[in-house]
Amino acid sequence: MPLLEELKLSRRLQVSAELEFDTAWRIGTGKEGQTSSDLGVMLDPLGRPVLPGSSIKGRLRATCEGLAHALGLRACFLNSEASGVGCVSDISYHQRVRNHHSRAIEDGPQSLLAWINDHTCDVCKLFGSPVRGARLRCADGQLKTTEMAIVQVRDGVVLDRDSHTAVPGLKYDYEVLPAQTVFVVCFDLDNPTQQDEALFGAALFEWAAGSSLGGFTSRGLGRFHLRNIQVRGVDLADAKQRIAYLTATDPSKRLRDLGDWQAYFTKAIEQASK
């Protein structure tokens, strides 16, 4: 695809799934004296907990970074020196190649896009970088059923770092959502390349098998797995699909069902690994 064409939406892939917590999921309370969780509390207008899209995306990015090498793809880990992968998402690398970047800007948009493409690792191509938009978007995870959303408060003790014993009188509360809480999550990939689909697909397989999210994962909290994964898509080059996409009032009819997700992504992974 010519690089400028990449800026127009020509194909969209959408994956929805249910994310079920196998162990309780810790949500931060923001109370004083508490170590901050990497997941902020988010409530919807009705006061129900929401799984922030940014947290899902952050965890998915880490999963993809771990899988990139096995797929023969490049991951910068936001540290070009340590990873040996030059990528403009690492500010120090960007500083080093700034002159080339300025030259590419002067040479026009085609040249600039080619430059960005050459200086962005495969993970940042999917997840975005300071100089290019992300091809992947994650919506906030919505609670599937409200009955399950009973927030439990647990006691934590503060441990002395040297003696590893509890410090008398120092306690704090933390809130968890119980195991079996289910959120509906949704991912959109715009104009995904074969590499994008392979990377994302491999991460889906890993999450279907089980992963973890949130604070206190070393204590076994925040284990989850994906289930009921569905893959849908639209190819706007196809007239029939384009009209359906542009005229459907039922959101579920805008995109075509692409069948079994495992078969779909296995093919993407096989093609990328050739």
Question: CA 256 → CA 17, 30, 148, 239, 242, distances in Å?
Answer: 16, 42, 31, 13, 11
Strand partners, 211: 224
Query: Which residue, 14 or 89, has its beta carbon nearer to Zn ion?
Result: 89
Select from 155, 153, 156 the least CA-distant residue to 177.
153
Query: Which residue, 17 or 124, has its beta carbon nearer to Zn ion?
Result: 124
- Count the residues of the shown chain that bind Zn ion, applying the rule CB under 5 A: 5
H-type alpha helices, the chain: 53-68, 80-83, 91-96, 98-106, 109-118, 122-127, 194-209, 239-247, 251-254, 261-272
Burial class (CB in 10 A: 0-12, 13-18, 19+), 235: middle
Instruction: Give least dist CB 81 to Zn ion, A.
Output: 13
Instruction: Give least dist CB 127 to Zn ion, A.
Output: 8
Q: Name residues contacting Zn ion, limited to 77-96 (CB under 5 A).
A: 87, 89
Burial class (CB in 10 A: 0-12, 13-18, 19+), 204: buried
Instruction: Give least dist CB 203 to Zn ion, A.
Output: 16
Counting contacts by CB under 5 A, is residue 136 touching Zn ion? no
Query: Which residue, 122 or 175, has its beta carbon nearer to Zn ion?
Result: 122
Q: Name residues contacting Zn ion, limited to 41-80 (CB under 5 A).
A: 76
Distance CA 59, CA 212 (A): 8
Q: Name residues contacting Zn ion, limited to 7-36 (CB under 5 A).
A: none
Counting contacts by CB under 5 A, is residue 121 touching Zn ion? yes
Q: Name residues contacting Zn ion, limited to 137-176 (CB under 5 A).
A: none
**Stretch touching Zn ion by CB under 5 A, among 25-33, 41-49, 113-121, 243-251:** 113-121
| Three-state DSSP state, 27 | strand
Query: Which residue, 20 or 65, has its beta carbon nearer to Zn ion?
Result: 65
Query: Which residue, 95 or 228, has its beta carbon nearer to Zn ion?
Result: 95
Q: What's the chain's length in residues?
A: 274
Counting contacts by CB under 5 A, is residue 116 touching Zn ion? no
Query: Which residue, 129 or 181, has its beta carbon nearer to Zn ion?
Result: 129
* Interface contacts to Zn ion, rule CB under 5 A: 76, 87, 89, 121, 124
